[in-house]
Structure 1
Amino acid sequence: MTDQSVARPGSQRSVELSKQGEHRFKATNARGGVVSIGHGEDPDFTPVELLLAALAGCGALDVDFITGKRAPFEEFAARSVGTVVRDDDGNHLVDVSVTFDVLFPATDGGDAARGVLESAIRMSQDRLCTVGRTITLGTPVTYRSGSLD
């Protein structure tokens, strides 16, 4: 955290990972939600796909909360894309983007929602989406060994 950062009470998040088979894991959150993780030769999400899903999902929630005060989506789709590269910095994603395709009703509320859509997307990108902001700002990640013995 920076000198001006303030962690809100209850703001820490965690996920527990357990092995489910060869190169397959199960991530479980504190509320009991489960996501399967694999290496790409099975239907499970890969870690990179989960990151892309988190980006799209984080932005989708922001956009939904902001525009939904005016009108609900009639149709919604989001797509997140990134290219995996290996270079002097190791493996990482480049050219990461999230695109929202939304349709609002042909009502005054729908017009109002359309009117704030672009600003909602910008607010998500520039301030609100924790996942996107963390990637954009960068933060050190520490890997360490625990002990089950």
Structure 2
Amino acid sequence: MTSTPSDRFPRPEAYGEGSVWADRVGHRSLVGRNQRGVEIPIGQGEGEISPGELLKLALIGCAGMSSDFAIGRRLGEDFAMRLWAHGTSDGETNRYARIPEEIQLDLEGLDEAALARLVTVVGRAIESGCTVERSIVPGVEVTHRILGVEADPEARA
């Protein structure tokens, strides 16, 4: 299903592929939409997601999509993965100074060398392929850690 903005306001000249929009539906409450018909309630209320949470979801969504192929080559095509992004904005500066990300994978059966290679290829895949992170870094420190791997195995070498 495709979606276009209502005619309440004229579409901006820049409207096209990749455009998203948000319509105000109440006090500090919006509905974000894309052209594929997805709607996301944005705000601080029940059933809404905050802009900061959207930022963190965009980061981990991009990290997951960017690393999917590299992880699948090592763990098999049907691997399970959960990504986390943590942190709150600093009230004084009103910005996120750091957003730690964590990736959960089934690491059973991987030896230390395979773990080290996994950490390396995941980091490279995200660094080169994650448009969201590449767009906001170096303004925000974003870290990645695969849960279950004690430390960066390359750092021990």
TM-score in terms of structure 1 length: 0.68
Q: Say yes or no: does 1:58 pair with 2:53.
A: no
SS in 2 for 1:120: helix
Residue identity in the other structure for 1:81: H
Q: 1:75 matched to which residue of 2?
A: 80
Q: CA 1:103–1:28 in structure 2 vs 1: closer, same or farther (change >3 Å)?
A: same
In the TM superposition, residue 56 of structure 1 has moved relative to its aligned partner by: 0.7
Backbone CA RMSD of aligned residues: 2.8
How many residue pairs end up in the alignment?
A: 122
**Structure 1 match to 2:32:** 27
CA 1:82–1:125 in structure 2 vs 1: closer, same or farther (change >3 Å)?
farther
The one-letter code of the counterpart of 1:100 is I
Contact 2:70 2:125 in 1 (8 A): no
Q: Does 1:44 align with 2:45?
A: no
Report the 3-state secondary structure (helix = DSSP H, G, I; strand = E; otherwise coil) of the residue aligned with 2:81. Answer: strand
Query: What's the % identity of the aligned pairs?
Result: 26
- Letter of the aligned partner of 1:86 in structure 2? G
Gaps of 5+ in 1: 1-10, 139-149
Are the equivalent residues in 1 in contact too, given 2:57–2:85 (CA < 8 A)?
yes
| Distance in 1 of aligned mates of 2:115 and 2:65 | 16
Q: Which has the higher strand share?
A: 1
8 Å Cα contact 1:15-1:30 kept in structure 2: yes
- For the residue of structure 2 that corresponds to 1:78, the secondary structure is strand
The 8 Å contact of residues 37 and 45 in structure 1, kept in 2 or not, is answered as yes
Structure 1 CA distance for aligned equivalents of residues 55 and 35 of structure 2: 19
TM-score (norm. length: structure 2): 0.65
Shift of 1:34: 1.6
